[in-house]
């Protein structure tokens, strides 16, 4: 059975347009309307969410995503995690905690910031069960199992996590990939990769950084995500070879 990968959101930390209606260099093309980075994998009835962006409620409703069986976090920054509160109705509906996976550093940060989601506080029942990941782990439901490999990426001042799902790698936020992690990126069917803007940035890949990595690891297809307001969908697509595509909200592919 095929697995379905959905880009729920591909925008940078403020999305596009910004709350001030600032669009930068973006046209009115619908594919330039970008919510914050988030992704989803559906494998039979196994539903796995990657991060909980501040836009997660609208992302779920628009894409008709069902209850997540697990949430995998790349890191704890607000544009990846602030939608964690929106997961409460799934706890109420299913009457069980949602398993959450992340690095030791990320899990500690999530518990510190969103304490009541994990620890009983002020009469609120915790809605999540934290799981610190090892390099490799599996998520199961009924007769479906997804094997996942985690690896470190550098995201400014922190170490975030990239994930390998069989032949798909997801790296939404990074400015550097350690040599020990690079080995996970060869022989990929798909690479979903941070590509914030044309100019250099201290915590994200620029367009040129992304192109350099692609040239090294040579995935069959690359999807560029975490796109800022200077990267117009049509302009970027015309600039790229056919095996590299800018992401858009709701983009799907099977693996």
Please say if the pLDDT value at position 58 is more than 90.
Answer: yes
Q: 144: closest CA among 69, 72, 94?
A: 69
Taking the whole predicted model, whether its pTM rises above 0.85 is answered as yes
Here the tokens at position 209 are: 């950084």
Domains of the chain: 4-23+32-250 (3.60.15.10)
- CA dist., res. 7 & res. 9, Å (int): 5
pLDDT in tens, 102-149: 999 999 999 999 999 999 988 889 999 999 998 999 999 999 999 999
pLDDT band at 43 (very low <50, low <70, confident <90, very high): very high
Q: What is the pLDDT of residue 123?
A: 84
The answer to whether the CB of 9 falls within 8 A of the CB of 15 is: yes
Q: What is the mean pLDDT of residues 224-229?
A: 99
Summarised one tens digit per residue, pLDDT across range 148-169 is: 999 999 999 999 999 999 999 9
* pLDDT score of 158: 98
116: three-class secondary structure by DSSP: helix
Strands (E), the chain: 4-9, 38-43, 46-50, 70-72, 98-102, 128-132, 136-141, 144-155, 158-165, 168-171, 190-194, 221-225, 244-246, 251-254
Q: Is the pLDDT of residue 236 over 90?
A: yes
pLDDT at position 1 is 85
Over 90: is that where the pLDDT of 100 sits?
A: yes
Q: How far is CA 8 from CA 89, 165, 191, in A?
A: 19, 17, 16
Residue 234 vs residue 143, higher pLDDT: 234
Task: Specify the DSSP class assigned to residue 173.
Answer: S
User: Which tokens hold the place of 218?
Assistant: 């040579």
Report the phi/psi class of residue 206: left, alpha or beta, with left for phi > 0 and alpha for psi in -120 to 50. beta
């Amino acid at each position: 059975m095929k697995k379905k990968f959905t880009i729920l959101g591909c925008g940078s930390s403020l999305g596009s347009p910004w709350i001030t209606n600032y669009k930068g260099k973006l046209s009115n093309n619908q594919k330039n309307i970008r919510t914050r980075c988030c992704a989803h994998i559906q494998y039979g009835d196994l539903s796995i969410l990657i991060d909980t962006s501040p836009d997660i409620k609208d992302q779920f409703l628009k894409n008709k995503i069902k209850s997540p069986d697990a949430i995998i976090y790349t890191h704890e920054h607000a544009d990846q995690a602030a939608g964690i509160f929106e997961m409460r109705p799934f706890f109420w509906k299913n009457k069980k905690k949602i398993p959450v996976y992340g690095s030791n550093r990320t899990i500690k940060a999530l518990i510190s910031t969103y304490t009541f989601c994990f620890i009983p506080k002020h009469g609120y029942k915790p809605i999540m069960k934290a799981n610190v990941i090892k390099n490799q782990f599996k998520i199961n439901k009924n007769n479906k199992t997804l094997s996942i490999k985690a690896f470190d990426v550098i995201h400014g001042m922190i170490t975030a996590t990239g994930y390998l799902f069989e032949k798909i790698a997801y790296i939404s936020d990074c400015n550097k990939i350690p040599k020990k992690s690079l080995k996970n990126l060869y022989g990929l069917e798909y690479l979903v990769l941070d590509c914030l803007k044309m100019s250099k940035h201290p915590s994200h890949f620029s367009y040129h950084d992304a192109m350099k990595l692609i040239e090294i690891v040579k995935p069959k297809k690359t999807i560029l995500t975490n796109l800022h307001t200077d990267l117009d969908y049509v302009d970027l697509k015309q600039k790229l070879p056919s095996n590299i595509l800018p992401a858009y909200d709701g983009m799907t592919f099977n693996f």
